[in-house]
């Protein structure tokens, strides 16, 4: 079986979606690209998260051919692959309809930075896309066009895509985005206007956190 270690990581990160309240039923997915082979491990389509195993994930190449797996890959696979083909620096992608972030996706508004945690993880305002044309390639193109150097994008009237150097990095971005969207939603519902943190302050927090957080 190909990529057995990467399968385990992607399986664990997919199961973290329901555990962190980011998905219901079978929607949402995490993928990772193997840096050596450019093969992509991704959730199969329409399968419940509790039925996932490292072994029943699907492996596709960058053109969408199924290389290994009995199950059809996620309906969102072509969006993931479009991103991987156009961004050599991205090796992990998470997609959710997490409820508070999706609130802002419905409103069609970018999410300014109001908290030190989102400053530390994102370093800049979370952008919002336009409504993507129907079809997965169109969604992938919209993400690549709009995400810039952020690790998260609000997809208008749809949900969230986050990216990172690994599937776990993209998962972390999806969790922190939902956490900050929740508190910001509450605050905005009590006040007509709240001043976001300044760009300078956000950058300082981001730099501090990138240098000091976690284990070396």
Least distance in Å: CB of 62 to a second copy?
A: 20
The answer to the question of residue 47 lying near a second copy (CB under 8 A) is: yes
Among 25, 51, 63, 89, binds a second copy (CB under 8 A): 25
Sheet holding 159-164, edge to edge: 66-68, 58-60, 40-42, 29-33, 92-96, 159-164, 152-155
Among 38, 55, 199, 208, binds a second copy (CB under 8 A): 208
Tell me, residue by residue from 178 to 197, as one string, x for binding to a second copy by CB under 8 A and - for no binding.
xx--xxxxxxxxxx--x--x
CA distances from 134 to 111, 116, 137, 166, 179 (A): 24, 36, 9, 28, 29
Question: Within 13 Å of residue 176, how many CA atoms lie on the same side as its CB?
Answer: 23
Tell which residue, 131, 90, 83, has the closest CA to residue 107.
131
Tell me, residue by residue from 124 to 163, as one string, x for binding to a second copy by CB under 8 A and - for no binding.
-------x--xx---------------------xxx----
How many residues of this chain interact with a second copy, rule: CB under 8 A?
58
The answer to the question of residue 204 lying near a second copy (CB under 8 A) is: yes
Nearest CB to a second copy, comparing residues 37 and 45 = 45
The answer to the question of residue 107 lying near a second copy (CB under 8 A) is: yes
Least distance in Å: CB of 11 to a second copy?
A: 16
CA distances from 187 to 2, 23, 114, 191, 196 (A): 47, 23, 10, 6, 12
Tell me, residue by residue from 49 to 68, as one string, x for binding to a second copy by CB under 8 A and - for no binding.
--------------------
Biggest CA pair distance of the chain: 55
Question: Under a CB-based contact definition with an 8 Å cutoff, are residues 148 and 88 in contact?
Answer: no
| H or E element, residue 212 | helix 199-212
What residue ranges bind a second copy (CB under 8 A)?
20, 24-27, 44-47, 71-72, 75, 97, 99-100, 102-107, 114-117, 131, 134-135, 157-159, 172, 175-176, 178-179, 182-191, 194, 197, 201, 204-205, 208-209, 212-216
């Amino acid at each position: 079986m190909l990529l057995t270690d990467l399968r385990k990581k992607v399986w664990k990160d997919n199961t973290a979606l329901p555990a962190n309240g980011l998905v219901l039923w079978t929607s949402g997915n995490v993928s990772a690209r193997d840096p050596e082979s450019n093969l992509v491990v991704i959730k199969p389509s329409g399968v419940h998260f509790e039925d996932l195993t490292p072994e029943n994930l699907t492996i596709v190449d960058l053109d969408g051919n199924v290389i290994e797996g009995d199950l059809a890959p996620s309906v969102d696979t072509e969006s993931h692959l479009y991103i991987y083909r156009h961004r050599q620096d991205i090796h992990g992608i998470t997609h959710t309809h997490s409820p508070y972030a999706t609130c802002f996706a419905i409103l069609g508004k970018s999410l300014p930075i109001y908290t030190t945690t989102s400053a530390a993880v994102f370093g800049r305002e979370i952008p919002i896309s336009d409504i993507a044309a129907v079809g997965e390639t169109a969604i992938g193109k919209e993400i690549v066009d709009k995400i810039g150097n952020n690790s998260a994008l609000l997809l208008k009237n749809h949900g969230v895509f986050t990216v990172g150097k690994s599937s776990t990095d993209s998962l972390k971005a999806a969790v922190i985005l939902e956490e900050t969207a929740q508190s910001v939603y509450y605050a905005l519902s009590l006040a007509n206007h709240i001043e976001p943190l300044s760009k300078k302050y956000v950058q300082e927090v981001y730099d501090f956190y990138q240098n000091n957080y976690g284990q070396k």
